[in-house]
Structure 1
């Protein structure tokens, strides 16, 4: 189940036209004309909470591993494509869960900073999403992540429509590859895509993993999503498992549940 963990992070809310026009502030994509082009970002819901996810193929969603780690039945999860105004353009049941092989899980409800690079998951949809409903985003090619990025997420108190922060800054780059952002994120923002411009097009450079002390942390994706995607496609080519089967990495641990949207505090110790 999608479980909650304590996060010491203040959620900054916006809702007026003036605030939305401030550089770097949140703007709500709560109308279909504002949502145009961002439909592939959706909300991943489980029995006890939600995260943010992004279509990177018609039947594959990118999110944070801790959002789906320990889920006993993938079919208990739903992905709302382009959900805005509380209504999704399409909704799909999750059929499989794939975690990065190096993901080590939480420690006492926190994710140690050295584990953030592998806090990556792909989930497969029971039915693909048509291009008329949403066009998937591509993950960025290897290369430097710029100092200014864009984040689109569903957060607590604003999760009936995505919020876009068009300009937040990369404020730290760790040797492990972990990035620190000053983006306005909160519960439910885990798994949110961090966009950059590459060759004139929006690409997913990183995702939101954890947060605390007014900062968000996340892994760059260029070198990790490819191998995980190959594993998803290999598994998809095998015979379809029977009812109740789940597609996860070997050695997965059963999870324990608690209520709330998923977002965790980074442990930098």
Structure 2
């Protein structure tokens, strides 16, 4: 409860605009359903955990920082991480290992979940083998989210880890100080999932899912403002660039393994 109150206080920069109940989840089962969402994929971590991630460049995947730490709060080695773009029922559009990981230094694993941790809960994965834009077109970032903004979320999750689920309509209920609260339906495995706005034509990423739960029986999720964080992470990758340590893996169509665990944080 203390964590929830802390986050609510951090977001209390004005009256939250009512957005309304979010829509139900749509399973993207067929190849036609997945059209346009190929750049969203499942990140398999270690021996059984997974998160959701999104290509923002042919070789860069955006996700949540807590996804790349293990239960002992140690960083997971890049070679233990795989990104499968457009994974559905064992088939992926493309797959690559990871050569480099840049978690935002403002996120400290093991600390109690707080507004400060959510604000910095971002990571960029540099792929060992870039995925061509013709195979999975990367998404670009939108500006900072605002209260009352209509958004959608595409994610994997516990119990629905085999294929992407799309919530077509939910919304930003409060925004400020680098934080967003949303009424979107998320669960374990949704960490790192892109929050999209369609205000500029093709969907653009306004945030990524950090944590979530329920409030008075209604779903609530938290994300962060992205533009400055992503620029910080790109600079971090450039500073720390070295030889790839992961084995490149990329297949246009192939088979993906299962996943038994799902990363998530609940305030």
- TM-score in terms of structure 2 length: 0.78
Choose the corresponding residue for 1:240, options 223, 243, 254: 243
Correspondence for 1:179: 180
Which secondary structure does the structure 2 equivalent of 1:264 belong to? Answer: coil
Correspondence for 1:253: none
Correspondence for 1:48: 48
Correspondence for 2:264: 263
Q: 1:226 aligned to 2:228?
A: no
Correspondence for 2:64: 64
Could you report, residue by residue, the CA deviation over 1:135-182 in whole angstroms, capped at 9, with x for unpaired residues? Answer: 100111356465210100001111111000010121223x43211111
For residues 29-44 of structure 1, what are the structure 2 equivalents within 5 Å? 29-44=28-43
Correspondence for 2:78: 74
Correspondence for 2:23: 24
Q: Are residues 215 and 60 of structure 1, via their aligned partners in 2, closer, same or farther at CA, if it must alter by over 3 Å? A: same
Count of equivalent residues: 225
Correspondence for 2:8: none
CA offset at residue 58 of structure 1?
0.5
Q: RMSD between aligned alpha carbons?
A: 2.1
Choose the corresponding residue for 1:90, options 75, 91, 94: 94
Structure 2: where are the runs of 5+ without partners?
1-20, 247-259
Which secondary structure does the structure 2 equivalent of 1:44 belong to? Answer: strand
Could you report, residue by residue, the CA deviation over 1:199-249 in whole angstroms, capped at 9, with x for unpaired residues? Answer: 32311000100112231111121222122123323444xx426x58xxxxx
Could you report, residue by residue, the CA deviation over 1:68-119 in whole angstroms, capped at 9, with x for unpaired residues? Answer: 0333421111101111122111111111110112112233xx5222210100
Cα distance in 1 between the residues matched to 2:174 and 2:101: 30
Cα distance in 2 between the residues matched to 1:85 and 1:146: 35
* Maintained 8 Å contact 1:28/1:163: yes
CA offset at residue 264 of structure 1?
0.9
Cα distance in 1 between the residues matched to 2:24 and 2:87: 21
Correspondence for 2:206: 205
Q: 1:102 aligned to 2:103?
A: no
Large movers: runs of 4+ above 3 Å = 141-146, 233-236
